[in-house]
Amino acid sequence: MDQLRAMEIFVEVARLRSFSAAGRRLGLTRAMVSKHIMQLEDRLQARLLHRSTREVSLTDVGQAYLEPCMATVAQAREAARVVTHAGVELAGPLRIQAPSSFGGLWLADALARFSLPHPRLTPLLYVDDALLDPIEHGFDLTIRVGGIPDSHALSMRPLAPCKGVLCASPAYLAKAGRPQAPEDLHRHQCLHFSHLTDGATWRFARGEERTAVRVNVGFTANNGLVLHQAALRGLGIVYSTTFLAWQALLDGSLVPVLDDWELPLNHLSALYPASRQPSPKVRALIDFLVAEYQPVPPWDAALAAAGTLSG
């Protein structure tokens, strides 16, 4: 048994309270996640998790084990990063494409910090919300919201969960009222991101309950930052992401709406050509971003610490 891998999986299951969600996060089947957890419990001779058909929760032993387990996983990642890149000089162009909002708000700063120790590295960051083919356009690495496209030519590594959130300005809610159920969105102005795969149909889940609403679109854009600004101005309810809306949610300029319902969980993923091993600079950047955004990305950690979102 790879104990470190099992510990990493345990941390994700404990954080997400779900075998299936942890599997999606790590690119594993639910059965494989369960197998690793059972092997870890057998090795420790202790039960770490309570399982039921509805939820997964920590036992007392699991709760006590979680913190040192998280520390061990973090230390192992950092040690692997140091060993992998020790003595490797990263140089030359590094072509990266990312969504406009994530690229501007988070990736640009991370990329600058990554580049500082490597003066011969020349990153080229192209921000665009179009779903560009990284091979066709010559990118070494593409950051995308969502999973890998249906292509054997690309490999994927998850970087961070990407949580959706509905929010609106206090001024808009004072004028239009606060929706109490997804169906109430029919009478609201909704700000719509045109690249959503379901079009203007927004999907919701709460426990075992599922519903889908075709919303009344008052404003459409192909850029999340544009919709964010429209929401701040009181134009309507926006379907945003926590990495984009987190600061406005913290300072109260946007307020979460229907936050007792969950929106489909996506992921920020790194895509690169599957036909060859990633170069040292691509591998180093991916490792750096994984360390930045896992197990909990900073924007979600800030919202959780403030108790801003109930979900």
Whether the model clears a pTM of 0.85, i.e. scores above it, the answer is: no
- What is the rounded CA–CA span in Å between residue 116 and residue 112? 6
Phi first, then psi, for residue 178 (nearest 5°) are: -100, 125
Residue 72 burial (10 A CB sphere; 0-12, 13-18, 19+):
middle
How big is the chain, counted in residues? 311
**Mind listing the pLDDT tens digit for each residue in 192-242?**
887 776 668 898 998 889 999 998 888 888 888 999 999 999 999 999 999
| Mean pLDDT, the chain cut into blocks of 10 residues (311 residues total) | 82 86 79 88 89 82 88 72 61 91 92 91 88 79 74 78 92 95 93 76 89 89 91 95 93 94 86 76 91 87 79 50
Could you say which of 1.10.10.410, 3.40.605.10, 1.10.10.10, 3.30.70.100 is the CATH number of the domain covering 3-85?
A: 1.10.10.10
Cite the residue boundaries of each domain of the chain with CATH code 1.10.10.10: 3-85
Q: Please state the CATH superfamily assignment of the domain spanning residues 164-257 in this structure.
A: Periplasmic binding protein-like II (3.40.190.10)
Strand 237-241 vs strand 209-214: parallel, antiparallel, or unpaired? Answer: unpaired
Question: Hey, what are 14's tokens?
Answer: 């404990």
| CATH 3.40.190.10 domain residues, the chain | 92-159+267-306, 164-257
Q: Given CATH 1.10.3720.10, say whether it is the number of domain 92-159+267-306.
A: no
* pLDDT tens sequence across 237-277: 999 999 999 999 999 999 999 999 998 878 888 988 776 66
Could you identify the residue written with the tokens 């179009």?
A: 130
